[in-house]
Structure 1
Amino acid sequence: MASKENRRITDLGTLKALAHPLRMKLYRALFVTEAATASQLGELVDEAPSLVSYHLRKLAEHGLIEEAEPRSGDGRERWWQPASDGVTVRDEDFQDAPEKVAAHLAASRLFQEQRSELYRTYLDERAHWGAEWNEAAGDSESLLRLTASELADLKKDMHDLLKKYDEEGRAREAAGETQGRENVALHVYGFPFRP
């Protein structure tokens, strides 16, 4: 990856490029695989490599992904990787025009729907993961009484903790500790509500 930092998306064009259902799946798949070809990604998302190539080029046009060093001897294969260590989309960057508000809302809904789809897939396949993974997997709801500032602090603390676990896990994997290691999705939502 070119940058180990999250990229903050602040322009409407980049947000729209990412907020396409197939492009978001491809972006997420590249994060899991770290680098892949259109053919490999096509198999993961069950789409034709030509369609995948088109959408990968769109992601690249907006700097979300970039070409990677080839991982095989086939010079015809074009390898891709994420251009940063993630993206951040903040509400505050899309509030100055009605079309930006609408695009941000549509993107947020798409991201949430795809996260829910990932979790539903796990639930449907839970029996195949075995007792160890099912005991480790979590699902909880906490109803807290916080101020906006306290929620922001909690979000930062949780982000820092997740980053620590990710960095440690990747370091262990790089050191050869690959046995039993799987991709893990952790979705956390913190938001105000009234009953």
Structure 2
Amino acid sequence: MSEPRRIADLATLKAFGHPLRMRLYGALKMRGTATASQLVDDLDDGTAVSLVSYHLRKLAEHGLIEEAERREGGDARERWWQAAQETLRIESKDFRDSPEGAAAHTALSRVMYDQRRDHYLRFLEQRAGWSAEWQDAHDSSDFMARLTPDELKDMTAELHAVVARYTEHGRTADPEGREMVGVHLYAFPMRG
């Protein structure tokens, strides 16, 4: 997988901003690799394999996903897919100078928030099914801090570095006892 990718062009932003494409991308990040048929099973909402295949090709056209190695024993006609990068970065400064770009960035941000909220709500609904250790390890916090823009950037960079360190450790350590963990961070100015 390649280095983190910054989405700075409107066409890619719009392609990624489609709610189903974002769900498919997220499912690939969770699974590592998958076929369209497997992703349809993950969606569990009646979406047709042909529609999923179409959206996977659109993600691939913009370099967001790529073909993965075929798995042994699988159907040779099926294509395997994976995320093309470990991390995507989308910055408002790349889109704020045009009304269309700003609107597309806001729309994407709303879809991302909705999907992250849904993941957390699913955890809350299923929390009793997790072990006591996982229930006790989970966190939901909020903080208020008076910061300058530069301090906010510095704090965000430090938090990203901490997450990156744990992510890398999880990739190389013994997989026993490990689960995929969602870490959602929002840091923004507030008034009133």
Q: Which of the five TM-score ranges fits, normalised by the shorter chain?
A: over 0.9
Count of equivalent residues? 189
What are the equivalent positions in structure 2 for 1:148-187 lying under 5 Å apart?
148-172=149-173, 177-187=174-184
Tell me the distance in 1 between the aligned counterparts of 2:38 and 2:48.
10
Tell me by how many angstroms 1:158 deviates. Answer: 0.4
SS in 2 for 1:81: strand
Q: Gaps (5+ residues) in structure 1?
A: none
Tell me the distance in 1 between the aligned counterparts of 2:145 and 2:170.
30
Tell me the distance in 1 between the aligned counterparts of 2:63 and 2:10.
13
- 1:125-148 CA-to-partner distances (Å, cap 9, x unmatched) read 111112111100000011111111
* Residue 62 of structure 2: aligned partner: 62
Identity %, equivalent residues: 54
What are the equivalent positions in structure 2 for 1:46-195 lying under 5 Å apart?
46=44, 47-73=47-73, 74-172=75-173, 177-195=174-192
TM-score (norm 1): 0.94
SS in 2 for 1:36: coil
Say whether residues 1:34 and 2:39 are aligned partners: no
Tell me by how many angstroms 1:72 deviates. Answer: 2.4
SS in 2 for 1:66: strand
One-letter amino acid matched to 1:184: V
Tell me the distance in 2 between the aligned counterparts of 1:100 and 1:32.
29
Moved over 3 A (4+): none
Tell me the distance in 2 between the aligned counterparts of 1:72 and 1:26.
23
- 1:94-125 CA-to-partner distances (Å, cap 9, x unmatched) read 01211111101100111111111110111111
SS in 2 for 1:8: strand
Tell me the distance in 1 between the aligned counterparts of 2:102 and 2:120.
27
One-letter amino acid matched to 2:126: E
Aligned residues: CA RMSD: 1.0
SS in 1 for 2:152: helix
- 1:134-170 CA-to-partner distances (Å, cap 9, x unmatched) read 1000000111111111110000000001000000011
One-letter amino acid matched to 2:189: P
Tell me the distance in 2 between the aligned counterparts of 1:49 and 1:99.
31
TM-score (norm 2): 0.95
Tell me the distance in 2 between the aligned counterparts of 1:129 and 1:89.
33
SS in 2 for 1:153: helix
Q: Gaps (5+ residues) in structure 2?
A: none
Tell me by how many angstroms 1:29 deviates. Answer: 0.8
Tell me by how many angstroms 1:48 deviates. Answer: 2.3
